Amino acid sequence: MIPSQRQKYNQQFTEEKYQNFLTELQNGYPPIPFRVAETPVFVPKALKEKLIAAGEEIINLIKQPNFKELTQKSIPVNWNVPNENEQPHFLTFDFGICKNQAGELTPMLIEMQGFPSLYGFQHHLAKTFQTSFEIGGAVNHFLNGFNEEAYIKLLKEVIIGSHQPEEVALMDVDAPNQKTAIDFFVTQKMLGIKILALEDIKKVGKQLFYEEDGEKIQLKRIYNRLIFDEVANNTEIFKNSFDPREELDVEWVTHPNWFYRISKYTMPFLKSEFVPDTRFLNEIKIIPEDLENYVLKPLFSFAGMGVIIDVSERDIINIKDPENWILQRKVNYEPAVQAPDGGVKAEVRMMYLWPDGGEPQLCINLARLSKGKMIGVRYNADFDWVGGTVGLMEE
């Protein structure tokens, strides 16, 4: 998207360099189970400024005094976790890169989450691109004036807080074997915190403990990577550990309720040039005649599961719980990234950290490239120049 950067990169790209890059990326870590793209996304200044402006509009909604009231129904009754704090610690906004009526590249909001993303891996990925390819200093994966030192300092403040690293753990069901485990290991290396599977944690009274070298260590803060949607049909797993929905003497980073509050559920409340028209299905009185221009999404799903792209009136009529669905105007991605064999669609995730008592700060980003019908890595398994990557933004 920055023509000079793209031309230079493509001219010096070789398959051998790419394979060496992948080897370096995985050096010291288990194999990465998802596809990493051959290229970063070079984001021009004008588009970067629109991405920043779009994010600020969303944050203005989240900071409204009535935001919790607006989103209370987003939290499923049986997954409401006590002791919710006043803010999420993480905000991630996914934007499809499109063209507006003036022919300019512009972001359109696809998804949003009050939940952590690959905050460790994305820095590692960008550094490895920079050292493996001749990219130079005119572009940066950091935003808002951040550099490596300032970023890691803020990440420590948000995740570890006032505790010792051994009192904080990144937690998921089977953490070392998750698809995003590379991020867990990079984060552990950066911050010195533990990685614990759910079953590694035991409850005594209201306190949580894990064992190391025969010693019980109290867990005071959880960097939570457990998505309840993934375990909703298997709550037996809590019996060997603890149930997050109980009263516990532990701090959450971020509290699980924010996963629901800042999600697809929030999108109908946003009115912006950067947000496609989105409505709760149960509030639609007349079904649009041009359904081919809409997509139907379940509120409570992850990684694109359950999305109906080619919507029919029958699809809408057959939905038994319309209050749990949104109808959203389709976003037409522009194949703006030039691969050797043509244009590729891109999505950019703007990633914020929100320290306790502070303000949300835009720090870093994630990008994904696609030639498939949907952006996710799972929908692009048979293509090259697609997959997970990072945006290198024009300074």
Name the β-bridge partners of 98: 106, 333
| 373 or 127: which leads in pLDDT | 127
CA–CA dist 68, 89 (Å, integer): 15
Residue 298 lies in a domain: no
- Report the C-alpha gap between 179 and 323 in whole angstroms: 31
> What average pLDDT does range 185-195 have in this prediction?
97
Residue 70 falls inside a structural domain: yes
Q: Is the pLDDT of residue 299 over 90?
A: no
Residue 258: pLDDT above 60? yes
Determine the Cα–Cα distance for residues 265 and 269; give it in Å rounded to an integer: 8
Residue 211 belongs to a domain? yes
Range of the domain at 131: 3-260+347-394
- How many domains, in total, are found in the chain? 1
- For residue 88, being part of any structural domain is answered with yes
DSSP string, 229-294: HHHTT-GGGGGGS--TTS--S-EEET-THHHHHSSGGGGGG--STTS--EEEGGG-SS--S-GGGE
- What pLDDT, in 10s, does the model give residues 83-135? 999 999 999 999 999 999 999 999 999 999 999 999 999 999 999 999 999 89
Which residue's entry shows tokens 């049986």?
A: 78
Q: For residue 280, is it within any domain? A: no
Residue 371 lies in a domain: yes
Q: Is residue 202, in this structure, part of any structural domain at all? A: yes
pLDDT score, position 316: 94
pLDDT(303) > 60? no
Q: Specify if 189 maps to a domain.
A: yes
pLDDT at 233: 78
Lowest-confidence pick of 156-160, 347-351, 375-379: 375-379
